[in-house]
Homo-oligomer: A and B are copies of this chain.
Amino acid sequence: MTDIGNNLVKDNSATSALAIAAEKIEEKLLKLLPKAVDLEKQVIDAMEYALMAGGKRIRPFLVLESAKIFGVGESSALRVAAAVECAHTYSLIHDDLPCMDDDDMRRGQPSVHKKFDEATAVLAGDALLTLAFEILSHDQTHADARVRCELISFIAKALGANGMVGGQMIDLLAENRELDRISITRLQRMKTGALIVFSGEAGAILGKASPQRRNAIMGYAHDVGLAFQIIDDLLDEEGSTEELGKTAGKDSAAGKATLVSLVGTEQARTMAHMLTDQAVQHLELFGDKAENLRNLAKFIINRAN
């Protein structure tokens, strides 16, 4: 396993650690994509287009770092990281559809239904979700099939009607409704939090960690995930479309309830700081092994300064 910890001595070098991990993930994703022999090539091209559009790759980074903490080999971790990125990318493709958030831009380029068409976008999302499960079920992911089933069970819960899909449903129905802070944090926990928590948890599952250590990494991922979401909302409120790579101000224009719109930018920034502090405290158990995750927390909070 390559030690990329040295690249993270200063907190702004978190970006380079992310970049190194992103490169590995992308290489793995390309290997895991299905091959086409006929007209189905179009849906595989769309899957590749969406997967290779860049992005910070924070979820697979969490998987890889969590796996390192729990002593898991990189080849297992990379497969799980790739599965998580497939699942995340599926959700972006479907969320961008005209009937959902109707977004023409994603990661600085046309979203899948603009580049291809809506049918291809629906199918590419469907196939990526399916691929995530196929990857996890394969015996190369972990020698112990119980571990593979545990990964599948937990990611399915994170993605399903009580997780990401349910969160997106609430988000769509909540437009122009008044949600209180409890409802908003629940929505975000379901829509984006659940997969981020799974990304942290995955290393603990692979490494058969103790409940205490598993809870600690999940706590970190939960807090970092919520901080990340708040800062995304802050950037959406304050940033430009160019910086974001997607349409800025869209959520507030659509009347979407976010914590930022509820409590204001200053208080939201304070909450994000509090959450990243708390996230770092969860890492105490892991000592030096968690250095990259500490730096990731700093990187996330610094995006908002």
Asked if A105 is at the interface of the complex by the 8 Å CB criterion, the answer is no
Q: How many residues of A contact B (CB 8 A)?
A: 59
The secondary structure that dominates the A interface is: helix
A122 touches B97 (CB 8 A): yes
Does residue A109 face the partner (Cβ distance < 8 Å to B)?
no
Query: Please, which residues of chain B bring their CB within 8 A of the CB of A169?
Result: 39-40, 42-43, 120, 123
Bound-state Cα–Cα, A183 to B120, Å: 20
Looking at A58-66, A128-136, A240-248, the stretch in contact with chain B turns out to be A128-136
User: Does A38 interact with chain B (Cβ within 8 Å)?
Assistant: yes
User: Does A173 belong to the interface (CB within 8 Å)?
Assistant: yes
Tell me the smallest distance from the CB of A23 to a CB of chain B, in Å. Answer: 24
Bound complex: CA A127 to CA B125 (Å)? 12
Q: Min CB distance, A184 to chain B, in Å?
A: 12
Residues on B with beta carbons closer than 8 Å to the beta carbon of A24:
none
What's the minimum C-beta distance from A238 to chain B, rounded to whole angstroms?
28
A205 CB within 8 Å of chain B: no
Known: A42-B169, A126-B94, A169-B40. A34 touches B161 (CB 8 A): yes
- Is A215's CB within 8 Å of the partner chain B? no
- A152 lies within 8 A of B127 (CB): no
Interface residue A289 (Cβ < 8 Å from any Cβ of B):
no
A166 to chain B: which residues have CB within 8 Å?
34, 36, 40, 43-44, 127
State in angstroms the CA–CA spacing of A302 and B42 once bound together. 38
Whether, in the assembled complex, A139 has its beta carbon less than 8 Å from a beta carbon of chain B, the answer is: yes
Q: Are A42 and B122 in contact (CB under 8 A)?
A: no
Give the interface of A toward B (CB within 8 A): 34-36, 38-40, 42-44, 47, 90, 94, 97, 99-100, 117-120, 122-123, 125-127, 129-131, 133-134, 136-139, 144-146, 148-150, 152-153, 156-157, 159-162, 165-170, 172-174, 183, 186, 190
Q: Which 9 A-B pairs have the closest CB atoms?
A: A40-B166, A99-B118, A134-B156, A145-B145, A137-B152, A127-B161, A137-B153, A145-B146, A43-B169
